[in-house]
Amino acid sequence: GNNLITSSNHLRHVDFITNLPSGAGKISHLNAVVLGEASASEQADLVLPSQQFSSQALVPSHQKYLEMYMRSIQDPAGFWSDIASQFYWKQKWPEQVFSENLDIRKGPIKIEWFKGGITNICYNCVDRNIEAGLGHKVALYWEGNGPGFDDTLTYSQLLHRVCQLANYLKDIGVKRGDAVVIYLPMLMELPIAMLACARIGAVHSVVFAGFSAESLAQRIVDCKPKAVITCNAVKRGPKIIHLKEIVDAALIQSAKTGISVDVCLTYENQSAMKRESTNWQEGRDVWWSDVVPKYPYTCEVEWVDAEDPLFLLYTSGSTGKPKGVLHTTGGYMVYAATTFKHAFDYKPSDIYWCTADCGWITGHSYVTYGPLLNGATVVVFEGAPNYPDPGRCWDIVDKYKVTLFYTAPTLVRSLMREGGVSFSGCFLSVYCCFLMIRDGACFYEVILLIAILIFITITQYVTRYSRKSLRVLGSVGEPINPSAWRWFYNVVGDSRCPISDTWWQTETGGFMITPLPGAWPQKPGSATFPFFGVQPVIVDEKGVEIGGECSGYLCLKSSWPGAFRTLYGDHERYETTYFKPFPGYYFSGDGCRRDKDGYHWLTGRVDDVINVKGQGIYAFVTLVEGVPYSEELRKSLIMTVRKQIGAFAAPDKIHWAPGLPKTRSGKIMRRILRKIASRQLDELEDTSTLADPTVVHQLIELADC
Ligand code: 6R9
């Protein structure tokens, strides 16, 4: 399967789906075509951190990692208590640090960390840092959609803003344990709103401000919030999105099921839309700027139990209703902070930028909580990474002297297509020079060609920026294929910055398998080794643990502080989805291979894997930019699969797909591909979470090409 990708220079991405129910039957080795797999030679390709990097790193060697890891496994209570003690606790947790049952055969699943300890995560993110002397340090740099729009908040200013909103929320009757839905774009008000809820013990549920009214209504109905916080509109790239209208429609819809929301606090996002043009429902809708600034800069903290809920975040289930993943306070706090610190080798002088939206778990743990708990300076970016041009990211990196840059493979790949030195281009140009000289071109003609070449090189979207400040790069969301890894490493990071390929999930709260830059040699495309306290196991289809070099289903043995505690209102679904498939373990839903050196290679969701059982295989194929799709190519693709894997695996249908339906975080929505394949076009359902919904129409048009 790997050869399918590496042997054809024309193929950028192959995606297979079938209509078969998942989980049944034997897994064929077709899963080897899942993006992110690497060939044997690629696996052996080690990239070492420089001596200079390792010597200054928090975990400077793999021996040190192993020593810390062993302690975290042998004495989890001691290991995590030592770390937790670095935070502020109003009252320390009692003797027992954690209790757990991950074995469904032994009774209900239960995970608790630091229960009985009393704390507040907002206090630990903001007040504690101010007390430690960081009041004047920048907490948030905000960079707007359009270049030139920006803002800054120090830790002291952040505290003021959080307290004002917290006071307002208390005033309208939001109490400890109440839910608040936040439907905001990446304005500073988004982390502020999360922290304000946490300060008063309210449970926030951030809904990504790209979700449709229907999805928002579904979430509102599920968690029954006391208030919804939104803004009137936002600009993404050149487009204006009228968020308030979406909220209005969602509230009408939720009211039909008897769930009415009393307050809709609306931030006026002046750069996108004036308040006069905003639809308004008197009595329910309130302008943020009319009320919030009137409240005092201080607000008493609501001290909560470590096991009190902190937030709900909905993730789409493979069937129907989204799952409300519930995280609690104490364990999540300790875990988000520690994973951030180690995976990015955080130093107080760092400037950190994560391109994720707070509507995603990455934005919870690694825009808001993890960095702020470490007293870090965080860049919050409102816009689109390729607006006004594909150099925007590097422009931002240079502007703020970003040292730690964390993003998704989908972004890396799209920027890779548009920028960076093209080696084939260089080769071609050198060849042209050679031809010109051979054919007697004059000196000036050759010089002119070289000058054009240099110009093209320096105007490349990446290389025209310095990026000197960068120290560590990060990747999340899906496997990063080795060629994208190398481009990220060589071109963006100038072969200087280790890449932390962080494997984790909404459910896990923080990183699970990730390199610690400085500790290990890296293999492009591998997430490497488990974080402290994490025990990954690979099981076969019977749920039997397999050791050594192997591949199978990725499970986790024993709990970690950041684990989710339940699915809101449906503990049974929690147990059925995650703990019943392989009794005794938490099942991640992902496939994984462990190589001979113990490195982990994530192969993607196992429900994306093909079980070849009588139904047809339908392949969506994306070609390298500029390569035309032809009948000849179609045949050669089918022949390649026949030859490399077997006739049983040959696709019955090849569908040329210049683009695939992807979420903003880069996950392919296979549900939609499946509907297109089976021509159930009236059942496409909600496509509003797609990064670019127009690809769906394009795919439908190309169906019979
Ligand atoms: C953080 C996040 C979780 C799923 C996960 C896996 C995929 C995430 C990955 C990765 C390979 C990585 N995934 N990071 N696969 N390598 N570094 O993305 O959470 O949105 O819940 O998605 O994403 O399949 O199971 P979430």
**Model confidence over 490-500: pLDDT tens digits?**
999 999 999 99
pLDDT at residue 274, rounded to an integer = 86
This complex has an ipTM of 1.00
Q: Whose CA is closest to atom 11 on ligand 1?
A: 479
Q: Which residue has the higher pLDDT, 453 or 292?
A: 292
How far apart, in whole angstroms, are the C-alpha atoms of residue 266 and residue 285?
7
Query: Do the Cβ atoms of 349 and 400 come closer than 8 Å?
Result: no
**Model confidence over 74-86: pLDDT tens digits?**
999 999 999 999 9
Which has the minimum average pLDDT: 53-57, 217-221, 685-689? 685-689
Cβ of 512 less than 6 Å from ligand 1:
no
Mean residue pLDDT of the chain comes to 88
Phi, psi of 453, deg, nearest 5: -60, -50
Tell me the C-alpha to C-alpha distance, in Å, between residue 150 and each of 109, 185, 379, 404, 608. 46, 15, 10, 20, 41
| pTM attached to this predicted model | 0.85
Q: Whose CA is closest to atom 8 on ligand 1?
A: 477
Query: Do the Cβ atoms of 304 and 264 come closer than 8 Å?
Result: no
pLDDT at residue 319 tops 70: no
Which has the minimum average pLDDT: 77-91, 260-274, 441-455? 441-455
**Closest Cα partner for 281 from 335, 245, 235?**
245
pLDDT at residue 644, rounded to an integer = 67
Ligand 1 centre to CA of 479 (Å) is 8
Q: Whose CA is closest to atom 16 on ligand 1?
A: 479
Which has the minimum average pLDDT: 383-397, 557-571, 608-622? 608-622
Q: Whose CA is closest to atom 12 on ligand 1?
A: 503
Half-sphere exposure in the Cβ direction for 513 (13 Å, CA): 26
Ligand 1 centre to CA of 29 (Å) is 21
Q: Which residue has the higher pLDDT, 14 or 225?
A: 225
Beta-bridge partners for 620: 15, 655
Query: Do the Cβ atoms of 466 and 487 come closer than 8 Å?
Result: no
The model's confidence at residue 328, banded by pLDDT at 50, 70 and 90, is: very high
Cβ of 527 less than 6 Å from ligand 1:
yes
290-319 mean pLDDT: 92
Output the six-digit token pair for 69: 């890891």
pLDDT at residue 455, rounded to an integer = 65
Percentage of the residues of the chain whose pLDDT score is greater than 70: 89
Cβ of 504 less than 6 Å from ligand 1:
yes
Q: Which residue has the tokens 């204006």?
A: 240
pLDDT at residue 694 tops 70: yes
Edge-to-edge, what's the strand order for the sheet holding 227-231?
285-287, 263-267, 227-231, 179-183, 203-206, 309-315, 323-328, 566-567
pLDDT at residue 253 tops 90: yes
Query: Do the Cβ atoms of 87 and 334 come closer than 8 Å?
Result: yes
Output the six-digit token pair for 185: 């774009």
Active site residue 607: yes
Question: Residue 165: in which H helix or E strand, if any?
Answer: helix 155-171
Tell me the C-alpha to C-alpha distance, in Å, between residue 551 and each of 594, 600, 628. 6, 9, 36
Catalytic residue among 151, 389, 607, 652: 607
pLDDT at residue 155 tops 90: yes
How far apart, in whole angstroms, are the C-alpha atoms of residue 464 and residue 363?
29
Pocket test for ligand 1, best of 406, 601, 602, 608 (most atoms within 8 A of CB): 602
pLDDT at residue 362, rounded to an integer = 97
Tell me, what DSSP letter sits at residue 282? T
pLDDT at residue 18 tops 90: no
Q: Could you report how far apart the first and last alpha carbons of the chain are, in Å?
A: 25
The model's confidence at residue 19, banded by pLDDT at 50, 70 and 90, is: very low
pLDDT at residue 419, rounded to an integer = 65
Cβ of 361 less than 6 Å from ligand 1:
yes
How far apart, in whole angstroms, are the C-alpha atoms of residue 152 and residue 617?
52
Ligand 1 centre to CA of 505 (Å) is 5
